[in-house]
Amino acid sequence: MWYNGLLDFSVWQIVGMTLLFTHITIVSVTVYLHRYSAHRGLELGPILRHFFRLWLWLTTGMATKGWTALHRKHHAKCETKEDPHSPVILGIGKVLKEGAELYRAGLTDETLEKYGKGTPEDWLERKVYRPHGRTGIMIFLAIDVLLFGTAGITVWAVQMAWIPLFAAGVINGIGHYWGYRNYECADASTNIVPWGILIGGEELHNNHHTFPSSSKLSSKWYEFDIGWMYINIFKLLGLLKIKRVAPKAQTDTSKSIIDTDTLAAIFDNRFQIMATYAKKVVMPLVDQEAAQADAHNKPLFTKAAKILSREESLITEQDRKRIQEIIEQNAVLKTIYEKRKELQSVWQTQVSNNEELVKALKDWVVKAEATGIQSLKEFADSLSHYTMQPKTA
């Protein structure tokens, strides 16, 4: 019948097409807007660039410059009052419910000018793919109704709600509020789940904030980034080039001297190294000290490993009091907490040359070994193995 549209699909076929349409939109956002336009982790060929621009115009009404500028500002001002959509500042409820409104409010002329550089400014972008334009989404409504009949209105409504709900709401909200963290970067970003399928891999948000220019968002063996899968398919088809991925630590057990090569490798892999410190030094020693503590002191060790490894700028006043209580009562945990801060200060220190940094790193290793704490000594010894040199066969 005419009200079933040209395709005359069943309900389940329409559901399948709706999910396909929304998935293409998610892929367009993560591959084109995010990994290519905002962070330049990729180089897209003209076919993909124009397809993604057209599809996003039809299905979201978003313009490349606006999305790119707002996302770059989010990274530059993350978890501050200038962050366009931080749940830490605005509250999780507001970001979840008003993600689209926050996006539109953030598109000021100043933001577009400062953070929108390098985005398309051709005739199509100026005259057709304009910010907040309704022409594209109205055309898509007509296409949906033509294909699916009256059910096409529902298909269109789901498509219109998909990005505001999942991208503007879930990623910007939950992705800075709830989940797990592989790395202690200087913001509240989290990985929502380790399987980045529903939102194109953007679920791995802590990985992304730690290595923002990486075109691959997964970093652990158990994490899956479906956007990375599509990127590799497009690469095989010659439609894009991969420019940047997160650094992968390289070690050489025969190397035992700390030099500028060591320094460069440690700086490049500092987030992985601090994650290793938490796993190999902090967690085992917290467990060891907790096992030896009497019943009265055992509550002191609840979540101690997490807060002793937490990024300093994210420690709450309550947790700061807990840390102070822990280090006042336990000399071992005080030592590893202080050594963690001292190691971070090596690459945060402003010095005039690399020789001074190498000396600072060597001094840290000597002091760490002198503590007599075996796991700390083993970690300190391992630092000399880091190298920027590729492994040889």
Q: Which two tokens mark 176?
A: 């800075």
pLDDT-derived band at 129, boundaries 50, 70, 90: confident
pTM assigned to the model = 0.92
- How do residues 64-123 score in pLDDT, each as one tens digit? 999 999 999 999 999 999 999 999 899 989 998 888 888 889 989 999 999 999 999 888
The pLDDT assigned to 334 comes to 96
pLDDT-derived band at 339, boundaries 50, 70, 90: very high
- CB atoms under 10 Å from CB of 17, counted, come to 18
CB 189 within 8 A of CB 206: yes
CB 281 within 8 A of CB 155: no
Phi and psi angles of residue 191, each rounded to the nearest 5 degrees, phi first: -90, 120
Helix and strand numbers, DSSP H then E, in the chain: 21, 6
pLDDT-derived band at 393, boundaries 50, 70, 90: very low
The pLDDT assigned to 1 comes to 61
- How do residues 192-223 score in pLDDT, each as one tens digit? 999 999 999 999 999 999 999 999 999 999 99
